[in-house]
Structures are given as structure tokens and as C-alpha cells.
Chains A and B, each alone.
Chain A
Amino acid sequence: MTTNEVARDASVQLPDDVPHGRADDAPDRRAADHDQPLAIDVRGAGKRYDDFVALHDVSVQVPAGGLTALLGPSGGGKSTLLRIIAGLTPPDTGQVLIDGRDVTHLPARERGIGFVFQHYAAFKHMSVFENVAFGLRVRKEKPAAVADRVNGLLSLVHLEGFADRMPSQLSGGQRQRMALARALAIEPRVLLLDEPFGALDAKVRAELRAWLLDLHDRMHVTTVFVTHDQEEAMELAEQIVLISGGRIEQSGRPSELYDTPATPFVMGFVGSVTRLGDAYVRPHDIDVTTSAGEGSYQAMIERVVWLGFGCRLEVVLDDGQRVTVQATRAQVDHWELRAGDIVFVRALRSYRFPAPGGDGVRPEAPTPA
């Protein structure tokens, strides 16, 4: 994938001392190690539904033991890719390898995968215990072994007291934990999650994220999850594969996507972005002062939006260009910024992309000012 390589090239040129304000920017503990053996290797997968091309020739590599996010807007093909890996959707072209074995023509049940669905897919007519036991029962395991394993999993997902409940008596978060225990019961080689927290409210979602991360740290099952929420992908994943329009826009560590985006789309999808002159800039990478400096633009503040942790300034340049600036409260207080004030804005770090349609997308290295 060319965009992918380009992104890595760009990251090589990235100066280390570029200031940026993200706290979770250096999770080296979870950095994807590309020398690790591959758990999943998708080669040139393509899928078309009548006139609609869901996936164009997509290749993805997932290192063993990692946590990878397939991120992208809805309808972009990320769920199709996950279903192709699982064997739930047959690809028109391409190959799928799991642990080095070609599974392209194997049915889902022989791929050794655990799959978690967005809407839980709970077996409604079975108790929580029987739901989790299902994979073991169809394998004709001994009842005593089934009971041991299921009880162990139920305590792992904090559902010890719920074994005899029916799924309809559980909350959404509990149902999703049950679905996860059910998927883990068969000791899958890879765990695939399709928008696992998409149907849950924000608070439960945050809890489950933290809990999933903890679970992954303990079990080290290679995990791939689909999400349209860039924050979720940033928080959980060691590797993000950004998919849109059936193609991979970029893949890499969260910090790579954030700091060296391959395209304006990637830049806008993983964070907020504004234009300053010709350059693309993150609003928090714009410095505001009251005196002119090198590379600064004169601007008038149109609006000061108070956000609690900081302020958003909406400013207009002399030529009419509107720019969004993320300022700290210290800045706003120090300069006593008000709507109508004249200020000078300067990009601390900016990006330029060649016009779309050009041959090969090559972003310039971010320019530290």
C-alpha cells in the first residue's frame, strides 16, 4: 500500500522536538512491533456488491498479540474487511492467512476466531451460562470441563452471579461482556470485534474500553476491532488501519496517524484540523500573540468560545480566511483576549498536501516554525 509506506517515510523525517499537546502520544509500551510474527495477513482482498465496491484490493497485516483498530467512516468497508477475516463474508479476490495458514476457503467455524457483534448476537433462548458454553457444547466437551471453563470465564468478565439469567435480563454492557466471554471460550487465535461498544452509552463505553485494555494485557489474544470513533481507536489500539471508500488511507501507530497524516482526510479524521494560508494545521498547534512575528498572520477575533479546559478562538485573517484556534486559558487570560481584538497567529506545526489527483500522495514533513 503506497500511502502506508509514504506515511512511514514521513515519520522518519519527523523532528523529535516538535511541540504537541497530546498526553497519550507515546505509549511505547504498546507500540506495534513489526518484527513479530503475523497473526493475520490479508492480501489484496476485494469485495463488490453489485455496483458497489466495498473493498478495493486491501492488504492488512496484524502482528501477533497486538491490538489493532480498523477505523473509518461508516460504509467505508471496515466491517466488510473484518467479516472477510472471520469467514462470514467471502472475498471476491485475495487471500486471508491466520497464523501463516491460508484460511481463505475455510468456513468461519474452522478458522479459530472469536467474533463479537455490535448488537451482541446473544442467543436469546439460552441462559448466560449456556451462551458462554455454546462453543464447548458443539465441540462435545465433557460437562465437567465445560462448567469449569464457563465459570472461569464468567468471573473473568465479572458476571459470576448471572449464570442463570437470560440475556434479556442483562444490561447492554453485561450482554457485550457475555458475548466476549462466549467468544473467548473456544480459545480463539484471534479475537475480532465489530463495533463492540457502538450500541452502548458513553459512560458504559468508557468503562468497557478500559476493561478490554486490561483484559488484553492479561490474555494477549491478537485482537482486531472495528470502530468509527477515532478516540476509541487512539485509546485502545497499538496499530490503526484507517479505511475509507474501500481503501486503506493509512495504517500505523496512533501517533503516526496523528502526527504524520498521509492525506488531509486522515488528518481530519483522527483529529480536528483548520487551514492557515495554504497549510493544514491542528487548532492546538497555533500560537496566539499580540505582536507580529516571523510567519505570523494578523487576524481579528470573531468569537471566544469557552470550553472549560481551554478556549476556542474563531479568528478571521485579513484576506477573509477563517481559522479555528485552540488556545489555553492561560493564553486567553494573559492577553485578555476578547472578540474584536486584533491578534497574530502562527502555526507551530503545519502540513501541506499536494492537490488531490496528483501521482502519489506525499505530504511534506511537518514544518516546525
Chain B
Amino acid sequence: MTDLGLAPDIADPPAGRSRSAAPVTGIGTSRRVRYLLRTLALAWVAALLVLPVGFTLYRTFSDGFGPVVDALTDDWAISALRITVIAVAISVPLNTVFGIVCALLIVRGRLPGRSFLSALLDLPFAVSPVVLGLALFVLYGRTGWLGPWLSEHGIQVIFSLPGIVLATVFVSLPYVVNELVPVLDEVGTDQEEAASTLGARAWQTFRRITLPSIRWGLAYGVVLTTARALGEFGAVSIVSGNIGGQTQTLPLYVQDRFEAFDTTGAYAASTLLALIAIAVLLTMTRLTRHREDR
């Protein structure tokens, strides 16, 4: 075969080389680039994620299980866990329902000012949690606008559980909406319209058609909401008053232990936080998988 100035690789690929390799760029270079990119990505993940989390775990258990169990059975630790679980248990379902309704309104609703609503919902992303905490304080505090009226009726928001829940709900508000809006757009209205021509009422259509088609986005939104609600620090630290054993959430407890030079307590509580988050992630993945198979 006469070579018309083409590189030998292109004109006549030698046997034994992978056919999937791109014919124009040399195989060696592309492979080198590929490995380089992989290494970079893995190193980045290791430096930012694996190393700190791994080191936390290592430090937590460096003196064995005894001190960890002691640290986590401390009254304040148990109280912090309880308050965090309550805040998450209220804010996640609330934000899930609210997120579904809002996403449906934004994508399917014919309401005017939809883009305004959508921008408004991103506010918790834009505003620092500390600012939000202050805003709640101004509104519900003893000298605030609503505070005196509420305390007359026996409701204390600031320095108690309702304030913590309120702050948690607010900071974790946009996740479900933001996950669902593009998914709803992508799914389109065809299936819902088909269901309605077949006799389904709005609720039947939602439960049998809409909900199953957005379940992946919904699951991811719930996981993000949970993670955010679990980890909230800034807003909660202001509205809760950070009273140990009473209004302390797990992240506040971690900081409290850290400042008190109780590193075992801080590490143990951190590990517990991480484990809860991972458990939620795995549960949601399993739940959606299960429904998929059916």
C-alpha cells in the first residue's frame, strides 16, 4: 500500500491495537491524557473529601469504642441528637410537600409571576444563614414584631425548638423545588394529558403518573434537603441560643465540644452526623430502586 503522506497509524493500523482508539490523535497521547485526568480527579476528591472524613473517623476511634460510646451517651449529646432528629423530621417532609407543590405551580401552573416565585425560592441560597437567623430573631424575639404577641399566647419561638425548626425549614427550602423543576419540564405534559383523557382525576394523575415519573429528582431533592437540615449551623446558632442540653443541635454540640477541648466528643458527634446522612442517602436510593423494579 502506497503511503500518501498519511501517518502510518491512520493509513494502516497495525494489528493488535485497540479499534476503539481514536484514529486521528495518537493512541498514546489520548491514553496519557485520560490517566492524567483521572488521577487529578481522584486526588482532588481525596484531598477534599476522603482525607478529612477518613481522618475524622480515624481520630474518633483512635482510643477504641469506649470513649466514643461514653461521648455519645452524654446527656447533652443525646439531647442534641434528639433536637436535630426532630428538626429534620419536621423540615424534610414539610419541604418535600412544599417543594412538589411549588415545582408544579412553577412548571405546570398558569400563574403570572412564575419567574419571580422561582427567583424568590432561591433566596435561601443567596442569603447567608446568619442573616436569616438575625431576621428570625428580629421578627420573633422578645422585642420583635411578633414575639410579644406570641409569648402572650404561650408560644416561645426564639431560644426554643420552634425557632430551630423554622430556621432549618428555611435554609433547606429550595432543594426539592430546584431538583423537580427541570425534571417536570423534561417529562412534559403528554403522559398527564393521556391519563386525563383516560378518565383519571387530578389526584389519580398525580399519584399514578406524575409522582412516579419524577421520583428520581424527588429522591435526590430529599437527600439534599436532609443533608442541609442535618448540617445547618449559622441560622440555628442564633435563634437557638445554643443552650447545652436544651436547644443545642448536633452541629452546635460539635462546636461546643471542640471549644471545650473535648476532641473525642466533637469527633464522635461529627461521625454520628455523617452516618445519619449516609443512611438517608442509602435509604432513598433503595426506595427508588425498589419502585423502579416493580
Contacts and interface: CB of A to CB of B under 8 A. Distances in A.
Interface of A: 86-88, 107-109, 111, 113-115, 117, 119, 121-125, 134-135, 138-139, 179, 182-183, 185-186
Interface residues of B, number: 17
Interface of B: 190-191, 193-201, 204, 208-209, 212-213, 292
A92 to B, nearest CB: 14
A179 B199 CA distance: 15
12 contacts: A108-B196, A109-B200, A111-B197, A114-B197, A115-B194, A117-B193, A121-B194, A125-B212, A125-B292, A138-B198, A138-B199, A186-B199
Contacts of A88: 193, 196-197
Contact of A108 (B190, B193, B212, B213): B193
Nearest to A133: B198
Contact of A109 (B191, B197, B213): B197
B52 to A, nearest CB: 39
A109 B201 contact: yes
B208 A121 contact: no
A176 B76 CA distance: 63
Contacts of A111: 197
State the main secondary structure of chain B at its contact with A.
helix
A117 B132 CA distance: 48
Nearest to B291: A125
Contact of B208 (A134, A179, A183, A186): A134
B219 to A, nearest CB: 14
Given A134-B208, A138-B208, A123 B200 contact: no
A124 B193 contact: no
Given A138-B208, A182-B194, A186-B199, 18 more contacts: A88-B197, A107-B196, A109-B198, A109-B200, A109-B201, A114-B197, A117-B190, A122-B191, A123-B194, A123-B195, A123-B209, A124-B191, A135-B198, A135-B199, A135-B200, A139-B199, A179-B194, A186-B198
Nearest to A182: B198
B191 A138 contact: no
B288 to A, nearest CB: 11
Contacts of B197: 86-88, 108-109, 111, 113-115, 183
A53 B205 CA distance: 31
Contact of B190 (A121, A125, A139, A186): A121
A264 B138 CA distance: 74
Contacts of A134: 195, 198, 200, 208
Given A109-B201, A138-B208, A123 B191 contact: yes
A87 to B, nearest CB: 8
A138 B193 contact: no
A56 to B, nearest CB: 23
A106 to B, nearest CB: 12
A89 to B, nearest CB: 10
A186 B204 CA distance: 16
A87 B197 CA distance: 8
Q: Could you say which of A87, A113, A134, A183 has the most chain B C-beta atoms within 10 Å of its C-beta?
A: A134
Contacts of A115: 193-194, 197
A138 B194 CA distance: 13
The CB with the most chain A CB atoms within 10 A, among B191, B204, B292, is that of B191
Contacts of B191: 121-124
A138 B190 contact: no
